[in-house]
Structure 1
Amino acid sequence: MPGKAGRTPRTRASVRKRGNSFQVRVYAGVDPLTGKDSYLTESTRDERKAEKIRTRLLAQVDQQRQAATKATLAYVLDAWLKVHEADPSTLAGYRRAAETRIKPALGHVPVAKITPRVLEEFYAELRRCRARCDGKPNVEHRTSKPHDCHADDKSTRRTCKAHVCRPYAASTIRETHVIISGALSTAVRWGWIQNNPAEVTKKPRQPKPAPKPPTPKQAAQLVEAAMGQDQAWGTLVWLTMITGARRGEIVALRWHDVHLDTGMLEIRRNYVDGIEKDTKTHQIRRIALDDDTCQLLRVHRDRYEEQVRVLDEGPRDDAFVFSYQPDHARPCDPDGVSHRYKAMVDRLGIDTHLHALRHYSATELITAGVDVRTVAGRLGHGGGGTTTLRVYTAWVAESDKLAADILARRVMPARQARSPGTGSAAADSEEEAGWPRGTVT
């Protein structure tokens, strides 16, 4: 029967053949922002799958219309990711986690039925096995097609093996909780559910920081090896070690961030996944440089200027300090820097990684007696040193012990200078008063 004004009612869903594929198209209503008709579409080469896709897309549209009672956690996650404000790399990580960890387990569950018990049992499964197996012995098949489990042909590559449970790291499970909690919080704000069960769920434990910096001897070996490979590479490794800057912050440096006349370095940006963005704490920080580091950077600047002269170009202050291109128009790839560093330390037989240079800078400064707030400022830690104290507790304790020894060395000579005698009687008097026998030097 024709609709209003003689118009035929719109078909909710249709399947049409386009080339070698079948396109499923489902009407999703009028977009409230643009006022235009909105459609969900998906294509497949298998005609038999088209009907399943049509049913799924129709269900998704129905969920949207009755979100308050029928929306699944998968739908809520997708809706939250559309509006959540975060860096592109962070959002990409959240999407991967949602698709690989959360949706396979809880994606089909109506959001109204997510309870603290459901979440805590889910986290317990992740702590036991990332595959969420039933705990019984089983075989991990290399293919779902009929095959010989002991064959080693091109189709299977390897023989099928007995399943070995591999738990997720504590940090990964905690990230999973953050994502679920964020999505459910948005569902509360939009009126889809009354409360956020993740708020009262026992949170996955925060993994304890376990920094493992190289020793001073190893640090010297690392710098020497890097300089031996390439002076520019050696300068990058040295600057990372001296400043404690993050990998992305080092490669994002431009020449106008380096003030050699005043011995100051400005950390303004971070380079991640091919994108320049703010630093992790969204703050600019200024780090003092020593004379040797300034001299290294002057020589590095001379190399850069020589490279651009060969290209008949002039030096630019907005050029990147570290680059594999002659004109320094693009920074070094952060992953490439890490891979090169890993290859170098493997040849040296040192068990370490690039981020450990940041730990080395922090621990050496703290052990030397530099106050925690200053160290936090150089590293770019937020909270006025709270993070620094939490991560480097052992080294702060060592520094505190050193401070006590320094005070004792300063007080004891002055006290003994006032002692009435230096014989055994004076020594016995000191011991009775609680002073250690002998002179502290």
Structure 2
Amino acid sequence: MYVGVDPETGKQRYLTETCRNPDEAEAARVRMVAQADSGKGFAGRLEFGDAIKLWLASRDEYVAAGELAASSQRNSRQLAETHVIPVLGAIALGDLERELVPAAEALYREVGKCRLRCRGRTDFEHYEPGRGNARIARDLHGHQCGKRCRPHECPRASASMLRKVHSVVTGTCGMLHRWGWMPGNTSKRIVAPAKPPLNPKAPTTVEVAALVDAAFARNQDWGTIVWLLLVTGARRSEIVRSQLKHVDFERSLIFIDPTKVKDTSRWLALDPVTMDLLEALRARITDRLGALGRTVTGEEYLYSFEPDHALHGSAGYLSLRLKSMGRSIGIDTHTHALRHYAATELIVGGVDIVNVAHRLGHRSPKSTSDIYAAWRPDVDRRAAALLAGGLQAPAAKVPGPDRDRSAEQPRRTAHEIEQRIREVRQRTGWGPRRIKHHLAVEGVIRAESTIWKILHRHEPNITRPPAAIGTTLHDGQPDPE
């Protein structure tokens, strides 16, 4: 079937398919007509890997326009080059409907078992040289092992990583469908990886106090940065890029310039203690610039390792430093956990969810309530007390005097029969079984259990023998023959 001219080569293109019988030929004809109508024949010799590169290039435009975070684009590009293109890139666009779904699901399973996709063939991990480089070295020609090279243990990919790999596939398929290169979005038929569980782990107030004490004990500048992370709830990248000009010392406000979500810039109110810490930090920056013969301009970064604070510090090193400090005092935490702490404390303190979302820089309060609000045991105890406070406990019953209830056994046996059982017992000393047989001869038949209750009512000290010994009295003496 003729499908037009290839825009890349200028040659005429035909779709061909071999069939075994007329029915298969008719089905093939229908498919080829659909492909021709959808314009798939004009895709030339493009493969899925080429489409992924086009999709990444289109996202670069969003990054340049400020509508997409550069870190998100870098992460998507790394996942595409590491996992998606090597496995799915060779699939031709004409075969995408048939081959993409099983190949993509197999890729997710493989990455889920080992995020390096070793397939059991890797015994040692070699990393490329370079500061802060965590990429696996694929070409070992001339490679010299460094401190990051280590024996390989298959690390399972997190649910978040699998979802990001899936987003590369879905984003590319969506682009192809919008451009008219595919009749439908094939990625909708792929079983998506499970969503990561929402389990925020905010540190407790005791742990936060220990972190603050440890931070100020190490360095006043470092303690101020940790304090800002706690009282503002801002992201680490937002605090790292904050400058002196962003702090309004007159109105006790700080301006947060968003680094991840567009249109979430905000002014946050600060308490007097925080303002005192920031004024002390400004004084130290002024002294450092004075030693260099310079004055404060407001462009100085709050978190910096430069003498003139002209460059901000690394956000990655901030996280590493906080995590290392926490481990040194027995606390397993990270910078994002401090954000969870701020959200939890604000919600527990009664601040409405809209203002909490604004302080954290969320577009929707749903993200705040679903992800950042953590459960607190002390709040749960207050909830239990609040629920119980609306109820009235039942009045306690005053216990009456103790009394002997042994003579209060319900009497369901006639008084004459009970007297006859007691007479036989006193005269013969027999047990319930012999008494039962004796009364049966006289025409008075009572169950053995009834005879036992009557005897126990008048002889409380009598002991009942094991069930297997049926020819003994209940006082332990042998039953006479």
Fold agreement, TM-score > 0.5: yes
**Does the CA contact (< 8 Å) of 2:228 and 2:274 recur in 1?**
yes
Q: Would you say 1:353 and 2:328 are equivalent positions?
A: no
Pairwise CA distance, 1:142: 7.3
1:380-408: CA deviation from partner (whole Å, max 9, x where unpaired): 1221x101111145538985884685588
Q: Which residue of 2 aligns with 1:73?
A: 48
**Does the CA contact (< 8 Å) of 2:344 and 2:374 recur in 1?**
no
**Does the CA contact (< 8 Å) of 2:216 and 2:222 recur in 1?**
yes
Matches of 1:284 and 1:406 in 2, distance apart? 38
Q: Which residue of 2 aligns with 1:180?
A: 169
Q: Would you say 1:435 and 2:417 are equivalent positions?
A: no
1:253-311: CA deviation from partner (whole Å, max 9, x where unpaired): 111211122121110143xxxxxxxx424321121111111111111111111221222
Matches of 1:102 and 1:359 in 2, distance apart? 33
**Does the CA contact (< 8 Å) of 1:128 and 1:167 recur in 2?**
yes
Pairwise CA distance, 1:171: 0.7
Matches within 5 A, 1:210-229: 210-229=199-218
Q: Would you say 1:267 and 2:252 are equivalent positions?
A: no
Structure 1 residues 437, 326: closer, same or farther in 2, change over 3 A?
Answer: farther
Matches within 5 A, 1:228-239: 228-239=217-228
Q: Which residue of 2 aligns with 1:149?
A: none
Matches of 1:117 and 1:368 in 2, distance apart? 50
Residue identity opposite 1:239 in structure 2: L
Structure 2, unaligned stretches of length 5 or more? 1-7, 11-39, 64-68, 127-142, 396-481
Matches within 5 A, 1:195-344: 195-270=184-259, 279-344=260-325
Structure 1 residues 398, 116: closer, same or farther in 2, change over 3 A?
Answer: farther
**Does the CA contact (< 8 Å) of 1:244 and 1:358 recur in 2?**
yes
Structure 1 residues 232, 139: closer, same or farther in 2, change over 3 A?
Answer: closer
Structure 1 residues 397, 249: closer, same or farther in 2, change over 3 A?
Answer: same
Matches of 1:363 and 1:235 in 2, distance apart? 21
Q: Secondary structure at the match of 2:255?
A: strand
Residue identity opposite 2:194 in structure 1: R
**Does the CA contact (< 8 Å) of 2:343 and 2:373 recur in 1?**
no
Pairwise CA distance, 1:249: 0.3
Structure 1 residues 329, 133: closer, same or farther in 2, change over 3 A?
Answer: closer
Matches within 5 A, 1:91-240: 91-114=73-96, 115-130=100-115, 132=117, 140=123, 165-240=154-229
Structure 1 residues 83, 198: closer, same or farther in 2, change over 3 A?
Answer: same
Matches of 2:239 and 2:170 in 1, distance apart? 33
Pairwise CA distance, 1:436: 3.6
Q: Secondary structure at the match of 1:287?
A: strand
1:86-139: CA deviation from partner (whole Å, max 9, x where unpaired): 3333222212111111112111111333343443333233323435566xx766
Matches within 5 A, 1:362-381: 362-381=343-362
Residue identity opposite 2:233 in structure 1: G
**Does the CA contact (< 8 Å) of 2:113 and 2:156 recur in 1?**
yes
Matches of 2:379 and 2:262 in 1, distance apart? 27
Q: Secondary structure at the match of 2:375?
A: helix
Residue identity opposite 1:327 in structure 2: D
Q: Secondary structure at the match of 1:395?
A: coil
Residue identity opposite 1:306 in structure 2: D
Residue identity opposite 1:371 in structure 2: D
Matches of 1:285 and 1:184 in 2, distance apart? 36
Q: Which residue of 2 aligns with 1:14?
A: none
Residue identity opposite 1:185 in structure 2: G
1:315-351: CA deviation from partner (whole Å, max 9, x where unpaired): 1123222222222211112122222223322222221
Q: Which residue of 1 aligns with 2:368?
A: 388
Matches of 2:257 and 2:361 in 1, distance apart? 11
Residue identity opposite 1:435 in structure 2: Q
Residue identity opposite 1:124 in structure 2: R
**Does the CA contact (< 8 Å) of 2:201 and 2:374 recur in 1?**
no
Structure 1, unaligned stretches of length 5 or more? 1-27, 31-64, 144-153, 271-278, 413-433
Aligned positions, number:
332
Residue identity opposite 1:227 in structure 2: F
Residue identity opposite 1:81 in structure 2: L
Pairwise CA distance, 1:173: 0.9
Residue identity opposite 1:249 in structure 2: E
Matches of 2:373 and 2:345 in 1, distance apart? 13
Q: Which residue of 1 aligns with 2:72?
A: 90
1:56-97: CA deviation from partner (whole Å, max 9, x where unpaired): xxxxxxxxx976253211111111111222333322221211
Structure 1 residues 266, 399: closer, same or farther in 2, change over 3 A?
Answer: farther
**Does the CA contact (< 8 Å) of 2:246 and 2:256 recur in 1?**
yes
Structure 1 residues 401, 219: closer, same or farther in 2, change over 3 A?
Answer: closer
Residue identity opposite 1:295 in structure 2: D
1:174-197: CA deviation from partner (whole Å, max 9, x where unpaired): 111111111111112222221111
What is the root-mean-square deviation of aligned Cα atoms in Å? 3.3
**Does the CA contact (< 8 Å) of 1:367 and 1:398 recur in 2?**
no
**Does the CA contact (< 8 Å) of 1:324 and 1:332 recur in 2?**
yes
1:7-49: CA deviation from partner (whole Å, max 9, x where unpaired): xxxxxxxxxxxxxxxxxxxxx889xxxxxxxxxxxxxxxxxxx
Runs of 4+ in 1 over 6 A off after TM superposition: 154-158
Report % sequence identity. Answer: 34
Matches of 2:247 and 2:206 in 1, distance apart? 28
